[in-house]
Each structure stands twice: as C-alpha cells, then as structure tokens.
Chain A
C-alpha cells in the first residue's frame, strides 16, 4: 500500500508539473485544443491514480477540474482568466494534497471551496444555455435533481448518474442548437455539432446497457449525416422529429433517474426516423454506401476530436493497467472507450476502424469475462492499437483518407483471442484427432535469464539441440516413440528449471502424440502438423532460439518440403485439403487478408511448385521482390502511420515467419526495414508535439521493464557518501604524490651522500620510476572515478528553470506588466546540491527583475519600448563554472538613485560616492537594508533580498556580478563552481600553517618587492597596472608567526571578490591541487574567515580561506582603526581644548 502511495506521489508530481506548464501555455493561447487535451490527460491520470490509491479528495477535485476542462474542450465556455486562475488554483491544491499525502499519508486540506467554484462554472454554463432556449424547463429541473442526488449509490447507479450528468450537458447544448435551427435552416452550421453530440450520447449509453437511448441517438446521428449529405437543409419534418426525440430523451432520462431503467418505448420514434430516411434520403443512402471516401469534413473532424479524447482516455487507462494487470474496472473502461470509437466509426462508415475496435472490444470482454490476467502481449497490442488509431487519426485529419494497417492488428487480435476461444471449445468438443484442442498457452509467458544466467543458457542450448533433432526426425518421418523420447527430455529439463507451464505444455504434447498413436489413424500430415505447431509455439516463446532450417530432402512432397519452421499460414497456402483440416488456423489466414501476405503465399506457391526442379534462384528472387515491396510499403505507411513495431515478433508477425522462412536472404533486409521504420518515425514525432508525447508515454508503457533495468532511483545520501569516499581517494592521491617527491629527494640524497654503487643506484631509480608510473595510473583511475560520481550528482538546470514560468506568471498576475520569459541552456548540468542552494537566490533575482526592473506597460509604451518586456534566463558553462544570467530589458539600475539612497542612509560620504565607479555603485544594492524602491510592495522592496542573495552565492564560492544600463537593461550574472565538494585551489604556506585559496577567487600571483609598496591610510598598497590594490599580511591577520615579515620581497596572491581586489601576502606558494572541502563546526566557521578545511597529502589540515569574509574582516578592521584614530584625534583635541 505504501509503495502504491509512493508511486502515486511520484506520478502525480510529474503530471502536476506537466499540467502547470500546459496551464501556463493555455493562458497564452486559450483556444489551443492540443494543450487542453494534454491538461485533460494529466488530470485524468491523476484522477485515476488517486482513485486507485483511495485518495477521495484528490480524485474528487480532479474530477471537477476534468468537468470544467471538458466544457472548455467543447467550447461551451471560453477560457477566461477567471477560469484559468481557478484551474491553476486547483492544481496547486492538488499539489498540496500530494504533499500532505507524502508527509502524513492523509489528505487534510479541504477542497470544498474549489469544488464549489468549479461547480459554479459548470452549472452556470448549464443555466446559461437553458436561459437561452427556455424551451426545456425539464432539463433545468433535471439539472437540479441531478445535483441533489447523492452520488454514492450503487456502482451502476453511479455510472448512470455520471452519464446523466454528462448527457444533460449535451442536451442543453442540443436545445440551443435546435432553437437556432428554427431560425436558420441551413444545417452546415449546426449539423456537425448535433451529430457529434448524438454520437457522444450513444457511446456513453452503450456500455451502460441503455439500448433505447443508444438506438435513438444513433439513428438521429445517422439521419443527420444523411441530411448533411443531401442538401444541408433541415426541413420541417426533421425538425419536428428532432424536437420529439429530444422530448423523449428527457422522458427517458427522467425515468432513468427515478427507476434506473428506460421505460418509455422508443420504437415509434425509430420508425419515424426510418420512414423519413426511406422517404427523403433513399438516394443519399446509396450515395453514402458507395462513396464512403467523400465523408463530410466536419463530421470527420468531430469524429477525430471525439476519438482523440477516447484515445487519451485509453492511454491513461493503459498506464493504469500496466501497474495492475488484474484490474477489471480498467479493462471495462478500456472496452467502453474502444466501443465509443467503434460507434463513431460506424456512423462515419470507417469500416477498418470499426472492425478493429469491435474486435478489440470483443477481446477485452473475453478477458473481463474470464477474469484473465492481462498478459504482456495484450498490453503491447493495446498500446499498439492506441498508437495506430491516433496516428491514423492524424492521417485522417491531413489527408482525409483513412490509412490504417488494420489487418496486421486484426491478426494479432485474433492470435490473442484464439487461445481462449479454443480453450472454451476444447472443453466441449472431444476432438478425435486431438488436434484442435488448444495448446497450453505459452504466449503470455516470457522466459528470460531471471534465474542463473548460465543455467538458462544451458537450458536454451539443450532446447535448441533437442528441437533441431526433433525437426529432423519429423521430416524423416520417424516413429512416434522417437518423438516421445525427445519430448520427454525437454519435459525433464523444463521441470528442472521449474517452469511449470512449460512442463504442462510438454505433457499435453506427449498426450496428444499418444492419442494420435493410439487412434492408429497414422495420418502422417496430422502428426506432422501437430509436431510443427508445438515446435513453433516453443520457438515463439523462446525468441532466443536460433534454429537452423533443415535442408529439404528432394524426394518430399510439396507440403513436406516446407522448411521446417515454416508457420501454418504458408503451409496452409500449399494444400487446399490441409486448409480444411486446419480449421482454426485458416481462420487466421482468412482474416489476415494482408496484400503482402497473399503475395508472399503466391510466391511460395510458385517457388514450391517449381521446387522439385531445384529452382531456388527463382524463389529467392520472388522473396527479394516481396521484401523490397514490403520495405517501400512500410515506408509509405510510416509516413502517415507507423507500422506495428517489431515488439510483435514473438507473437508471430509476418516478419518473424519470413525470417524463419528465408532467413539468410531476409535477415539483412528485415533489419534494414526496421531501421527505416524507426527513422521514418522520427520526423513524425518531431512534427507533432502531442504525438511525441503520446509516443513517449507509449514507450514507457511498452518498454517499462527495460527502463526499470536502466534507471535506478538512489537515495541522495548514498551518493553523498560515495562522493565523500571519492574525496578521501583524492586526498590519498595527493599523499602519494607527496611520497613520490620524498622518494625523489631520498634518491638524490642517496646518490650524493650514501656510497652506493651504480647497480644499487639503478635499482633505486628503477623503483622510483615504477612508483611514478603507478601513481599516474592511480591518478587517472581516481580522476575518472571522481568524474563519474560527480556526473551522477549532476542534474540539468531545467529542474530549476522549469519552476520559473509559474513564478513569473504569478508575479505579473494582477499587475499591469507583460513579461515574456525566455529560457536558454536549460540542459546545462550542475551539482544537485548547488541546484538546491541557488534556487532561492534565483527566485529573488527574478522577482527583482519583474518587480523593479520591468516597467508597466504604460511606462514602456511611453519609453518607446515594446509593450511585452523580455526576461531572459540563461545558463551556460564557462570552464569549471556554470554561469547563470538573468537579463531583463526593463528600466535598468539608476546609479544616481543609488547615490541618493546611500547618502540618505549615510552609508558613504558624497566624496566617496563620487569616486566610486558605476560597477561599485551597483554593488551597493547588495548591502543589507539597501532598497531603492519607493514603496514596499508585497513581493519586494524591503532591502533584505540582495544581501541574502549575495551571501548565498558566496557560500557556494560563487560570484555575483551586476551590469546595467539605465533605461535599457539589467543583467545579473552568477558564476558558480560546478560542484561544491571538490574544488581546485591554490595551496599556500604562512609560517607553519597551510592555507587553501579557491582558484575561483584567485586572479594572479605576484612577486612584490617591499619598495614597490606604499602605505595609504594605514594599509599597505601596491600599484598594479594603474590601479591601487590593498595588500594584507595573512600572518598579521591570523596572528601567525611568519618568517618573511621583514624580508625584501614576498609573494602576493591577488584575489577577487567580484567587488574588490586585494592582495594576500603569503610565505610560500605550494601549487595547485584539487581539494575536498570539509566543513568546520559552525562555531569555528562563522565569521572566522574560513569556509572549511581540507586535508592535504600527508594528513595535515589546511584551512580554506573564505575570501569574502576575509575582505569583510579587513575592511571592518580598517573602519575600526579609522574610528579609533578619529576618536584619538578627538580626544587629543578635547584634551587640548581642556588644556587651553
């Protein structure tokens, strides 16, 4: 249960995220049906999952949202700002509920307010349409009645209630239409809508068993189609009839509501419709019968739309089914959706779709009735169906001609259907030949290396060998006893592996052979066929098997000359008599009227008839032709619709048969063929974003097992631990380097001091050389390892960026600003921890940009800028750093304002401010409490933000830069190291202590002579390239005894804080290294000037300098000193005065 809830949380989150994106898109383009559909899918999935997990609140809310979305989709209501706000609100509530479920496994938040608002929208629409018509007071009464009826009756009552609720909406709509029809009898404006509504009702009614409603609505729809075909004018008789029908519907619904059954007769109306059809449209009927191609565009479009909706629902159901293969409820809903499409297709005379759906419904019903577990092939098939239908819908939309490879799918359906049908028959019929009895169905089972791989390989090997010898024996027409021995071997090996189904299968096989032997019919053909059937079933079950085609003996009859693993179909084509004996098998061939297949059979016939005369070349050629044709055909088909995917091969798709049949020639082509398919699929997916999404989900459904194997959800903590270990390794690496250096010194010393002879010396040298090699190799491996682990932690920044469209939306909301957010480089990857850390600062910067940077529409217009402001969010890599830029083309930062504010707050004197560069001025906004906003708004203006942002970025060893041009733009530039745990750094020594300076801060290192320095206000400075830079003794700052205090020249490390450059005087530069940052205890880290510590090679600890803090410390010290000096001066002045 817990797992289920967890799954729900993950799934719901994903869908909510998606929904958010779509909702925001919807705001931009409120009429986009594709977006609506995507949202609908998301909500539907969430609803389904919530229901399944038993989360009543979420599912209820989702259901209401669905209702509203449905209205939007039908364009009954327009997508106003109010509605989209409500939808976003509902989405937030759903997210909240998900969070609650995650934390406490309970839904605590109330949803009543939202449900009420949503209901208001739904009801308002109803009321509106009723007001318009005013002819159907019953409907209104009904609306109220429905609303009052508690929805928690029996299941049946429930679904009827749902049906009524939705139908009532439809009727309100119809009434409006009829009303307008009276005034305007040209039906092209209304007919398509009427037809589609009727079809929806019919489709809804069917699964509920409401025959009368269904019949009536179907008839009406048919009539309207005729009307459309004929003259597009709804005459008085039709209008009267329609009115009557509507009234009857109202009565029927009333009855349904009260008694849950349809009491009133509808036959009279049906007859009237028929009469009308006979009388007025007899000609048209024929027209339609003959010219199915000329379907009315509108009708087709509405069909497409409706089918799309059904397909979306199917897709969602399939996903559910994937998780729970026993769920009959889902199956039922699947069946009903397919039935919907079937009905709609029937009305439009789209026979391929109709047959396909019909068969699917049959198959599903069979499963439901037998309470069968949904097998993998079935899942595959259903997904395939769904995809095929959606693709053919697209085709229909574009080309107006239905292209659907129905036959393939049909044959698959048949194949799936067959075993069960046969099973039933087998129970009744005792077959003499024991031939028609179904084999033990192996199709659902997959055998993989779930056990010991080695064992499985042996098993397969044995299976293959035995089958091969069995094939040989069958061809050589050995005795039954010999078959039995072979099968016994197989059975025992299956038994050993613990495959009980397989054992059963073998047992059945044995039994049948026995029956055959006992019956003494000695019908060679039947025994033969039986053997082949079973062998083939095995081959299908174990696609891993690679059976060689046994060469044909010349003296065999044509039927026996069929290559050993040829399947029933080609075999059936050879011999008319055999077709009769193989009744159930030919069933397939009859339905599988695939053109290609016929051609194939023909070619086979040709080749086998010529087979005696050794004319293999001819048959080869024929095969080539066929495959070539298949290739091109497939390409044609895939242009509009993708052919069944190779996933079907285990279920005996034509390819697999041919593959077996003519393996050598076929194989390269088939692969090529498959490649073409996948290739030609790509452009298709690119063209249609919605289709792409469907496909992606499809992929999930069909290959989820594989995906599971490839993706592992790992606790973040484990990765962190791993990272720490890698850190240790890096430290060790440093240690090895140091050891090597010591070794070299030792070697040198040995050479100079110890009296070693050349041989001994050589040995030492050789050893140190090998040691160096070992270190290099060790270093390489550890670097790779480090990189690998780092990559695991890397996540695309889109995780972060995806949240911001919503943020901007909320910020702009209810303001007179228009902002277009543009995101670039969201694929850029960076450390997971950093992503978490920069989230808040980024939010703040974006807020600032929208709130302060971007002007109102009026202001922009006045400034001659485009009304819609642009906010650009961009991420890219720059060496070892990631740069994130937030640029707005708003009013920019006014340096004068900053100056005024700084003066106002008496942070700096006018002199100081005048001396500051523009850049330095910009940095002032990052001071605590600094805000230039005139008013404090609810989003910003309190002057806390930038200070915090700066601190957060600095904590990550990052740099924040500000660039702006007043009136034009503001650019915030964040430069952050890719990872936190390991940084490149400069190691330095001061006295006996070691310090580490992050390379990101280091500008350059200098060697400075004391005479080059001068003193300014008590601080040592140097002039560097025309600039004055303060330099400080680290030893003085840290109170460490240093040996170089008095020396003439010293090392200076120039560091940059983004704002300021200072030089640090150190005793020695030790070089660059990769260091692992280890945190210090908080009371040591706080305001100490250290951001952490690291362990250098020999286990010593080196403290990592926090440059920002350091600079702060020095400046504050300076300020203190300054004040002290001033105080002193003042005191001495006072003294003097006193003295005076």
Chain B
C-alpha cells in the first residue's frame, strides 16, 4: 500500500509545467472527506498493531513498530474532536505523514483515492465550524463534484504546545 515515489517525481515535473495542479490523498473519517498533500504522505499501512501508551493524551492511539522504528499514532477523530459513531471496520488504516521531519501515524476510517485539484479551487476555511471541526485545523476547503473536501493543517494538529496543554488537561482529569 505504499505510494509509488516515481509517481511523486512525475508529479514534480508536471507541477513545473502547470503548478496549479495539486495532488491530494483523500481519506474519510465518519461522513467527511479530508485531503492531505500527497508530498507529505510517506506511506499508508493497514492493520498495524498499535501498542497503547499508558498516561498518554487521549488522542494518542499508541505506537507502532515500523521496521524497527517506533512511530507514534494519533487518532485523528479524537484529536479533532469529531463526533462520529464508532467505526466498524476491524482493520485500521494508518496514514503515515512526514510532518516537520518526523513521521507520525494518523488513524483514519478509510483512505479513498488520489485526487487532482487546481490550486485556485481551494478556498479559505469558512469562519463557521465545518463538519463540527474548528476552523483552526483547516487549511482550506475545496468543492469537488457535489461534496466538500477539507484540507487539514497537520502542522497545526501536531503543534507541540497544544499537545502538551492537552496532555496536562488529560492528566488533571485522571488525577
């Protein structure tokens, strides 16, 4: 399930010709469709064994062993406080993203397809809450056919201070 890197190279060349074109990996959580820049995606794995970490923030699913490297995995649903009914699929999808030179895994419901969109199709996030999601985590939205694709700001999602604060709150709760 690894994304072919040659494809990325080809994408680079294309981009220089008409750099308006952008490739996104689409994924689904609950009923919403999200997108992330394909250049950030390191690989996508399914059915990874996640080891839980006691006393970790709630949204941290745990860690996985990726060929000898220990990679943290974050439950995106919990991180973004999305209210969706519990997923049924027993095999999880983990999207491994390269954020700030670090690999982090994100548990999503399903990875859909690679989408090509024009840059000018992307609109700034609306002020109002989209799909029960605070707009601070959104880079932009994009209308494709009849649904709305949400581009997430993963740098923001992994912002350390915020995680730390959240952890403290968690700790307070447990004690």
- A residues bordering B, Cβ < 8 Å? 724, 727-728, 731, 993, 1037-1040, 1078-1084, 1086-1090, 1093, 1095, 1099-1101, 1103, 1117, 1120
> Is B16 an interface residue when CB atoms closer than 8 A count as contact?
no
B54-89 contacts to A, CB under 8 A, are 54-57, 60, 63-65, 68-70, 72
Question: B50 — nearest CB in chain A belongs to which residue?
Answer: A1101
**In this complex, what residue of B is CB-closest to A1081?**
B72
Contacts of B72 in A (CB 8 A): 1080-1081, 1083-1084
- CB of B174 within 8 A of CB of A1039, answer yes
18 contacts between A and B (CB under 8 A): A724-B68, A993-B51, A1037-B54, A1039-B174, A1040-B54, A1078-B68, A1080-B53, A1080-B70, A1081-B102, A1083-B72, A1083-B164, A1083-B167, A1084-B56, A1084-B63, A1093-B51, A1095-B65, A1103-B53, A1117-B175
A1039 to B175, CA, bound (A): 12
Once the chains are docked, how many angstroms separate the CA of A1103 from the CA of B65?
A: 12
Q: Contacts A728-B68, A1093-B63, A1101-B63 given: A1082-B175 contact, CB under 8 Å?
A: no
CB of B65 within 8 A of CB of A1038, answer no
Is B163 positioned at the interface, with any CB of A under 8 Å from its CB? yes
Residue of chain A at shortest CB distance from B174: A1039
Partner of B70, one of A1083, A1087, A1101: A1101
The answer to whether A1090 touches B53, judged by C-beta atoms less than 8 angstroms apart, is: yes
**How far is it, in angstroms, between the C-alpha of A727 and the C-alpha of B69 when the chains are bound?**
11
Assess the B63–A1120 pair: CB atoms within 8 A: no
Best-surrounded residue of A1038, A1078, A1088 (most CB of chain B within 10 A): A1088
The reply to whether B160 and A1083 form a contact with Cβ atoms under 8 Å apart is: yes
- Measured CB to CB, the closest approach of chain B to A969, in angstroms, equals 42
CB of B27, distance to nearest CB on chain A (Å): 22
> Do residues A1101 and B51 form an inter-chain contact, with CB atoms below 8 A?
yes
B54 and A1089 form a contact (CB under 8 A)? yes
Q: Is B52 an interface residue (CB 8 A)?
A: yes
Q: Which residues of B contact A724 (CB under 8 A)?
A: 68
> Are A1101 and B65 neighbours in the complex by a CB distance under 8 Å?
yes
Instruction: List A contacts of B57 (CB < 8 A).
Output: 1083
B21 → A minimal CB distance (Å) = 34
- Does B49 sit at the interface, judged by CB under 8 A? yes
Q: Which residues of B contact A1038 (CB under 8 A)?
A: 54-55
Q: Give the shortest distance, in Å, between A734 (CB) and chain B (any CB).
A: 12
Min CB distance A1107 to B, Å, is 15
A1085 to chain B, nearest CB (A): 10
**Which one, A1084, A1086, A1095, A1100, contacts B68 given CB within 8 A?**
A1095
Q: How far is the CA of A740 from the CA of B56 in the complex (A)?
A: 35
Residue of A nearest to B167 (CB): A1083
Given contacts A1040-B54, A1080-B63, 6 further A-B contacts (CB under 8 A): A1038-B55, A1083-B57, A1088-B54, A1089-B55, A1101-B63, A1101-B65
Q: Which residues of B lie under 8 Å from residue A1040 when comparing CB positions?
A: 54
Whether B160 lies near A1082 (C-beta < 8 A) is yes
| Residue in contact with A1084 in the complex, picked from B53, B65, B69, B174, CB distance below 8 Å | B53
CB-contacts of B87-113 with A (<8 A): 102, 104
Question: Which residue of B54, B63, B171 has the most chain A CB atoms within 10 A of its CB atom?
Answer: B54
Contact B69 A1078 (CB under 8 A): yes
- Contact A1120–B175 (Cβ < 8 Å): yes
Q: Which residues of A are found within 8 Å of B163, using beta-carbon distances? A: 1083
Q: How far is the CA of A1078 from the CA of B104 in the complex (A)?
A: 15
Write out the residue numbers on chain A whose beta carbons fall within 8 Å of the beta carbon of B65.
1095, 1099-1101
Give every chain A residue within 8 A of B164 (Cβ-Cβ).
1083, 1086
Which chain B residue shows the least CB distance to A1088?
B55
CA distance A1088 to B62 in the complex (A): 13
- State in angstroms the CA–CA spacing of A679 and B65 once bound together: 58
Contact of A1039 with B54 at beta-carbon distance under 8 Å, contacts A1083-B160, A1093-B63, A1101-B63 already known: yes
- A1038 — nearest CB in chain B belongs to which residue? B54
Task: List the 7 closest pairs (A to B, CB-CB), nearest first.
Answer: A1038-B54, A1101-B51, A1083-B163, A1081-B72, A1078-B70, A1093-B70, A728-B68
* Bound Cα distance from A1038 to B57, whole angstroms: 13
A731 to B65, CA, bound (A): 12
* Cα-based distance from A1090 to B55 in the complex (angstroms): 10
Select the residue from A1039, A1086, A1103 with max chain B CB neighbours within 10 A: A1103
B160–A731 contact, CB under 8 A?
A: no
From residue 26 to 47 of chain B, which have CB atoms closer than 8 A to chain A? none
B53 touches A1088 (CB 8 A): yes
How distant is A283 from chain B, measured CB to nearest CB, in Å? 90
Q: How far is the CB of A497 from chain B (nearest CB, A)?
A: 46
Pairwise interchain contact B63-A1100, C-beta atoms closer than 8 A:
no
By a CB distance below 8 angstroms, the chain B residues around A1099 are 49, 65
Query: Min CB distance, B85 to chain A, in Å?
Result: 25
Closest Cβ of chain B to A131, distance in Å, is 69
Give chain B interface residues in 154-175, CB to chain A under 8 Å: 160, 163-164, 167, 171, 174-175
Residues of A within 8 A of B51 (CB): 993, 1093, 1100-1101, 1103
In angstroms, Cα B153 to Cα A761, docked, is: 61
Cβ contacts under 8 Å, A1039 to chain B: 54-55, 174
CA distance A919 to B64 in the complex (A): 42
A residues near B63, Cβ cutoff 8 Å: 1080, 1084, 1093, 1101
List the A residue with the shortest CB-CB distance to B64. A1101
Shortest Cβ distance from A1040 into B: residue? B54
Q: Is the CB of B60 within 8 A of A1100?
A: no
Instruction: Kindly provide the distance from the CB of B66 to the nearest chain A CB, expressed in whole angstroms.
Output: 10
Quote the shortest CB–CB distance from A6 to chain B (angstroms): 28
Q: How far, in Å, is B48 (CB) from chain A's closest CB?
A: 11
Point out the residues of chain B lying under 8 angstroms from A1095, CB to CB.
65, 68, 70
Contacting pair B52 A993 (CB below 8 A)? yes
> Closest chain B residue to A1089 by CB distance?
B55
Tell me which residues across on chain A come within 8 A of B167, comparing CB atoms.
Answer: 1083, 1086-1087
Complex CA distance for A731 and B104, rounded to whole angstroms: 23
Distance A1040 CA – B63 CA, assembled complex (angstroms): 16
* Complex Cα spacing A1084 to B64, Å: 13
Are A1088 and B56 in contact, with the CB atoms below 8 A? Answer: yes
| Residues in chain A near residue B160, CB distance under 8 A | 1082-1083
* Shortest distance from the beta carbon of A633 to any chain B beta carbon, whole Å: 66
Most buried by A among B56, B72, B102, B164: B56
Query: In the docked arrangement, what's the CA distance between A1099 and B65, Å?
Result: 7
Q: CA–CA, A571 to B56, complex, Å?
A: 91
> What is the minimal beta-carbon distance from A117 to any residue of chain B, in angstroms?
48
Residues of B within 8 A of A993 (CB): 51-52, 54
Closest to B166 in A: A1083
Least CB distance, B49 to chain A, in whole angstroms: 7
Q: Which residues of B have CB within 8 Å of A1103?
A: 51, 53-54
Closest to A1095 in B: B65
Contact between chains at A1084 and B60 (CB < 8 Å): yes
Closest chain-A Cβ to B57's Cβ sits at a distance in Å of 7
Contacts of A727 in B (CB 8 A): 68
Cα distance A830–B51 in the bound complex, in angstroms: 33
B residues less than 8 Å from A728 (CB atoms): 68
**CB nearest to A1039 among chain B residues:** B54
* Distance in angstroms between the alpha carbons of A1088 and B57 in the assembled complex: 10
Whose C-beta in chain B lies nearest to the C-beta of A1116? B175
Closest chain B CB from A508 CB (angstroms): 61
A1093 vs B66: C-alpha distance when bound (angstroms): 13
- Asked whether, in the complex, the Cβ of A731 is within 8 Å of the Cβ of B175, the reply is no
Report Cα–Cα, A1086/B52, bound state, in Å.
16
Contacts of B104 in A (CB 8 A): 1081
Rounded to whole Å, the gap between the CB of B135 and the closest CB of chain A is 24
Give A1087 to B160 CA distance when docked, in angstroms: 14
**Residue with the highest number of chain A CB atoms closer than 10 Å, among B60, B70, B72:** B70
Cβ of A518 to closest chain B Cβ, rounded Å: 73
How distant is the Cα of A295 from the Cα of B55 in the complex, in angstroms?
87
CB proximity of A549 to chain B, nearest CB, Å: 64
In the assembled complex, which residues on chain B have CB atoms less than 8 Å from the CB atom of A1100? 49, 51, 65
| Residue in B closest to A1117 when the chains form the complex, CB atoms | B175
Measured CA separation A1086–B69 after assembly (Å): 19
